[in-house]
Amino acid sequence: MNREYISSGQCMFLLMGSVIGMAIMLVPSHLIAIARQDAWLAPWLCLVPGLLLIGVLLSLSRQYPGQSLVQYSVTILGLPGYLLGLMLLFFFFLLGALSLRGIVSFVISNTLFETPPPIIYFATLLPCAYALRMGLEVLARAFALLIFMTVWLVLFVQAYAMSNANFDQLFPFLGEGVLPVIHASLSFCAFPVGETIILFGMIFNQVRNSPGLGKKLSLGFFLAILILFMVIERSIVTIGPERSSRSVYSLTAGINAITGGAILLPFMTLNWFVFSICQFILFYYAFVSGLAHWFKLADYKSLILPAGALIMAYGIYMFENVLEAATFSFTVYPLFALPLTFGLPLLLWLVAGIKKLLYKAKER
């Protein structure tokens, strides 16, 4: 299969952008509904599990250089690895459809109210398909620049919003107890942490050899957690936990509630769009490249349009409305996402380690 290489710095920006992704709009309302004023703790409790998952996937990538997650699943497990690869492909397909639907739902709800959804699906998917045909290296360069600029916009909006903050909304600390915070943390580990990091198992084999890759990825993940923490905290201190938990998009509700927020809202929408498109294209890439690896094809680019059509069709018909999609994403989805995103890499890492020990013992 044709190889495309990106730098460790570009990989860091891709990780940061995709972790933030749809979560910047969807996660605050959900976490605040669970943990109320303590929801800001959830991202920090997921920091260590996320870093460990990055470490496990990097270790596997170094043990099996040049192979993606789908490929070394077969190398490690044999025939069962093909079944696991198939599960991963469906998972990436599902995430791509969910991500695309989330983008379209937000656009319809906030800007293009009267536009038929299929038109927005086409208008979103076709540029993404074209960008994917340009290759991962071109995508990485473009998103590294866009995400760098977008992060500064996020920080500017955050600083401005703090002038209207009521920090009393953060108290009482642990007023609902510890269990709601743990519940919120598990949900956050599934979406966005686990689902995003595992897709980089399809990308690490495309990163140029760099001794500082682990540190850069850890920094990118930490910055993503920091930004999501700020977004959750902003929702709590500007409009309060009650209103935040009732809003589908508490981020936009919080921006509209502050003085001059209507001016900032287009910038915040631009931020979200860059992060969300980054996330969707990477899920799209993981699906088509994984298909190519699973079927041992020379290149994934011939699969881009048919795979995109499948993702779009499933995204249109999978749910009736935004609330149904949100219910699935935050109740049903974590039940299978957590074991898959954290359990599968750990299983592969353990089996690979055992095989290595047995091989060394046999050599003696």
Average pLDDT, the chain: 91
**CB–CB of 84/92 below 8 Å?**
no
pLDDT of 361 reads 83
**CA-based torsion, 3, 6, 12, 14: positive or negative:** negative
The residue type of 172 is: P
pLDDT of 26 reads 87
pLDDT above 90 for 158: no
pLDDT of 180 reads 96
Q: pLDDT tens across 37-68, in order?
A: 999 999 999 999 999 999 999 999 999 999 99
**CB–CB of 268/252 below 8 Å?**
yes
- State phi, psi for 207 to the nearest 5 degrees: -90, 130
**CB–CB of 92/363 below 8 Å?**
no
**Cα–Cα distance measured from residue 286 to residue 96, given in angstroms and rounded to the nearest whole number:** 9
pLDDT of 329 reads 82
Token code pair at residue 197 = 């990091």
**Cα–Cα distance measured from residue 128 to residue 116, given in angstroms and rounded to the nearest whole number:** 19
pLDDT of 2 reads 59
- pLDDT: which is higher, 25 or 73: 73
Q: Which CATH architecture has domain 8-363?
A: Up-down Bundle (1.20)
What is the reported pTM?
0.94
- State phi, psi for 208 to the nearest 5 degrees: -60, 145
The residue type of 230 is: M
pLDDT of 348 reads 97
pLDDT above 70 for 1: no
Q: Over the Cα atoms of the chain, what is R_g?
A: 20
Q: Where are the domains of the chain?
A: 8-363
Average pLDDT for residues 162-166, to the nearest whole number? 84
Q: Report in angstroms the alpha-carbon separations of 43 from 81, 177, 183, 223, 271.
A: 32, 17, 12, 11, 20
Q: pLDDT tens across 257-282, in order?
A: 787 777 888 878 888 888 999 999 99
- pLDDT: which is higher, 151 or 259: 151
pLDDT above 80 for 73: yes
Give the residue among 338, 14, 296, 68 at the shortest CA–CA distance from 188: 338
pLDDT above 90 for 309: yes
Position of tokens 């589908």?
248
Give every CB contact of residue 203 below 8 A, 6+ residues apart in sequence.
6, 11, 14, 68, 136, 282, 285, 286
Q: pLDDT tens across 165-221, in order?
A: 889 999 999 988 999 999 999 999 999 999 999 999 999 999 987 778 999 999 999
Q: What is the largest CA-CA distance in the chain?
A: 73
Q: pLDDT tens across 82-137, in order?
A: 999 999 999 999 999 999 998 998 888 877 888 898 999 999 999 999 999 999 98
Average pLDDT for residues 133-147, to the nearest whole number? 90
